[in-house]
Amino acid sequence: MLLGAAIFDYATAVEISASAFYLFAILVASWNCGAGWGFVFAVFSFAFQTTLGLVQGHPFSSNLYFLYAQGNILLEYGVAVFLTAQLRRLFERERYTARIDLLTGVKNRQGFHEILESEIARHARNGASFCLAYLDCDDFKGVNDHFGHAEGDRLLEAVGHVTAASVRRSDTVGRLGGDEFAVVFPETDQAEAAAIEVKLRHALTKMTRPRPWWAVTFSIGIATFEAMPPSADAAMAYVDQLMYRAKNSGKAQTVSGVYDATAASADSVGTAGPRRAAGDAVP
């Protein structure tokens, strides 16, 4: 764009200003590459227009007036770069907060879904397995009914913080809504996910034990994806069934399952479901 503006400026008469074409290139650079590159483009545009005007001539009565006018253009470019960079910063902040659950500080449903889609695509490329956990707070409704929604919110906030603190930095925690949370474990096998789950359950139990009014337990489903599911929705549907199997087994349970090539093939014809699942009771 910048070279096109320069060529147009060089080929046209001195009475025709190409400043708007330079400005468009500057704005695109500022938005996509940051203020630094925006200022580089602005300085190049100013230098080229000024040199071209001094060599080919300009419509001003003296070079001093011409340089003054070019200085004003450079100032306009600088203001445009600054405002564009600020706007991009605000845009990125809003886009980030739109994917964060404000109560718990972890990813919300939309943000988690996007991360999961990205991880599925990445693991499909590198051939590694990953794990996905689905966590539900058993009897959470009783906390809301007996102690109020404010106390329920404090419990959910604590669950989010403890879960995020108990997993690895490479893992992503999300609140899917209500009292349901999920964690994606990149490049993780079933044994590694089981070890993380033991640590997480211990931390959650330690959190609730001193507060008898937080009379909740946790049902957890953990899926290991050796083959990649067709979508994030398919992955969530698989691990969701594992979680409900844990809940229906008496709550405070963990049920694990492996999503392998057989499951992936069945999903391709619309018959998804837990396969090779093994439950482990956790008191």
| pLDDT number for residue 123 | 95
Residue 200 has pLDDT above 90, yes or no: yes
Q: What distance in Å separates the CA atoms of residue 172 and residue 116, rounded to the nearest whole number?
A: 9
Report pLDDT digits (tens) over 201-233. Answer: 999 999 998 888 898 999 999 999 999 999 999
pLDDT of residue 154: 94
Overall average pLDDT of the 159-173 stretch: 94
Structure confidence at residue 266 (pLDDT) = 57
Is pLDDT of 244 > 50? yes
Residue 136 pLDDT > 90, yes or no? yes
**What is the reported pLDDT for 18?**
83
pLDDT at 267: 60
Q: What is the per-residue pLDDT for 269?
A: 43
Query: Please, are residues 222 and 242 in contact by the beta-carbon 8 Å criterion?
Result: yes
pLDDT, position 69 = 86
Using the predicted structure, report yes or no on whether residue 270 has a pLDDT greater than 50: no
Confidence of residue 153 (pLDDT cuts 50, 70, 90): very high
CA distances from 58 to 2, 9, 237 (A): 21, 12, 69
pLDDT value at residue 117: 96
pLDDT at 19 (0 to 100)? 86
Tokens representing residue 32 in the block: 């996509």
Q: Of 203, 198, 208, whose CA–CA distance to 142 is shortest? A: 208
| pLDDT number for residue 271 | 41
Q: Which residue has the higher pLDDT, 152 or 18?
A: 152
Query: pTM score, two decimals?
Result: 0.67
pLDDT at residue 83 is higher than 90: yes
To 10 degrees, the CA torsion angle through 226, 228, 229, 232? Answer: 110
Mean pLDDT computed over 120-136: 94
Pair 103, 156: CB distance under 8 Å: yes
